Amino acid sequence: MDKVFNRLRNLDAYPKVNEDFYSRTLAGGVVTVVSAAVMLFLFFSELNLYLYTVTESTLLVDTSRGDTLHINFDVTFPAVRCSILSLDAMDISGEQHLDIRHNIVKKRIDGNGSVIEERKDGIGAPKIERPLQKHGGRLGHDEKYCGSCFGAEESDEHCCNSCEEVREAYRKKGWALTNMDLIDQCQREGYVQRVRDEEGEGCNIQGSLEVNKVAGNFHFATGKSFLQSAVFLADLLALQDNHYNISHRINKLSFGHHFPGLVNPLDGVKWVQGPTHGMYQYFIKVVPTIYTDIRGRVIHSNQYSVTEHFKSSELGVAVPGVFFFYDISPIKVNFKEEHIPFLHFLTNICAIIGGVFTVAGIIDSSIYYGQRTIKKKMELGKYR
């Protein structure tokens, strides 16, 4: 057994020196203090990197099917009245959503941008006591109300009991309401008068849309849109002066939920209309994105890039409005928050301690032997 212990003792790479042979120097003390300070600094730097989350990104082909796209928006039109501002959406699959009203809030604003009134989108007012019946007479006491659609009836039993239903019937026919003052329902609901009362005001419209995850567009137009010959037009012939100012500010536009580091390039963008009138277009490329935080929580969202273009009415048909044309990228981005592995952190700490000790030892030895050499030379010179 003693032979085994002797062999192990011979393998000792750290031979001990008796303290009687130690020689402590001032330079060695300075090197020790400096090296300790360097080690502490590097240790805390490495600890900070270990505690800090690193976001790794990967690109994948988007193989998802049948998903929907959530669009959040908040847009201000300083010179467009809320009563004539409408929101429409359509996609390449043929699905259309015209004059969208659910999940939409409109705020009437004055010339200074102060809110006058806030309401969920919709048209309605108390009706007069005796509305006009479909057959031409006024509503009797014992009759059921059935308003006229003014030529846009789909059947003999079709009734239009509100201004909105008349406008919807005309939209389905592809017709425009040339004079709303002649529509009994619109007169009773005060729609035309309300539009005129809002003259000189602006509108802030905010809300959200849920659309198919395919290429499409949504737009804010100055009036309810209808489809005729596959082209969107506005049924404002009785209300418009043909020169709407569509200056606008996009306070917020996002496609999905927010996640850390997300930048929406259209947030805060402002555009002021010049002397020409027309439609302003944004062409958006939507990039599906998945973000996984350090706790494993997954956020499905989207990023986007954008270009823009103004189409003047002088170059042809250009419905006054702001149009957002979006397309879906086939590539999906996957972000994942991660920590540096603990073994990596431990390896770096060992490298710091060992490296600093080694370099400090080399520096200390160089100083010590340099001082001894100088001292010997001085002693030899003295004896001579």
Each residue's pLDDT tens digit, 13-30: 666 666 666 677 777 788
- Examine the pLDDT at 189 and tell me if it is beyond 70: no
Alpha-carbon span 133 to 141, nearest angstrom: 12
Mean pLDDT of 25-41: 85
Of these ranges, 33-42, 172-181, 236-245, 307-316, the one predicted with the greatest mean pLDDT is 33-42
| Domain segments of the chain as ranges | 27-53+345-360, 60-338
What confidence score (pLDDT) does residue 323 get?
94
What confidence score (pLDDT) does residue 32 get?
85
Alpha-carbon span 147 to 166, nearest angstrom: 9
Closest CA to 340 of 144, 52, 20, 132: 52
Using a pLDDT cut of 90, give the percent of the chain over it: 30
Mean pLDDT of 113-120: 76
- Which stretch of 104-108, 117-121, 235-239, 310-314 has the lowest confidence by average pLDDT? 235-239
Q: How confident is the model at residue 233 (pLDDT cuts 50, 70, 90)?
A: very low
Using the structure block, give the residue that is written with the tokens 């082209």. Answer: 231
Show the tokens assigned to 334. 């996957």
Reduce the DSSP state of residue 167 to 3 states and report it.
Answer: helix
Q: How many CA atoms lie less than 13 Å away from 129 in the CB half-sphere? A: 2
Dihedral sign, CA of 228, 230, 235, 237? negative
Show the tokens assigned to 172. 């389905």
What confidence score (pLDDT) does residue 242 get?
47
* DSSP run (H or E) holding 370: helix 342-383
Dihedral sign, CA of 252, 255, 256, 261? negative
Condensed to tens digits (0 to 9), the pLDDT of residues 250-269 reads: 999 999 999 998 999 999 99
Q: How confident is the model at residue 247 (pLDDT cuts 50, 70, 90)?
A: very high
* DSSP run (H or E) holding 106: strand 104-109
What confidence score (pLDDT) does residue 175 get?
74
- Examine the pLDDT at 248 and tell me if it is beyond 60: yes
pTM comes to 0.66
**Which has more confidence, 177 or 383?**
177
What confidence score (pLDDT) does residue 334 get?
95
What confidence score (pLDDT) does residue 102 get?
83
Q: How confident is the model at residue 121 (pLDDT cuts 50, 70, 90)?
A: low
Strands (E), the chain: 54-61, 68-77, 85-91, 96-97, 104-109, 115-120, 202-212, 216-222, 225-228, 231-234, 248-255, 269-271, 278-292, 298-312, 321-328, 331-338
* DSSP run (H or E) holding 59: strand 54-61
What confidence score (pLDDT) does residue 19 get?
62
What confidence score (pLDDT) does residue 30 get?
83
Show the tokens assigned to 73. 């928006």
Show the tokens assigned to 373. 């050499």
- Examine the pLDDT at 318 and tell me if it is beyond 70: no
What confidence score (pLDDT) does residue 232 get?
43
Which is it for strands 321-328 and 278-292: parallel, antiparallel or unpaired? parallel
What confidence score (pLDDT) does residue 61 get?
93
* DSSP run (H or E) holding 215: none
**Which has more confidence, 294 or 325?**
325
**Which has more confidence, 288 or 102?**
288
Show the tokens assigned to 279. 């439609």
Alpha-carbon span 107 to 228, nearest angstrom: 30
**Which has more confidence, 239 or 173?**
173
How many residues in the chain? 384
Whole-number average pLDDT of the chain:
80
- Examine the pLDDT at 237 and tell me if it is beyond 50: no
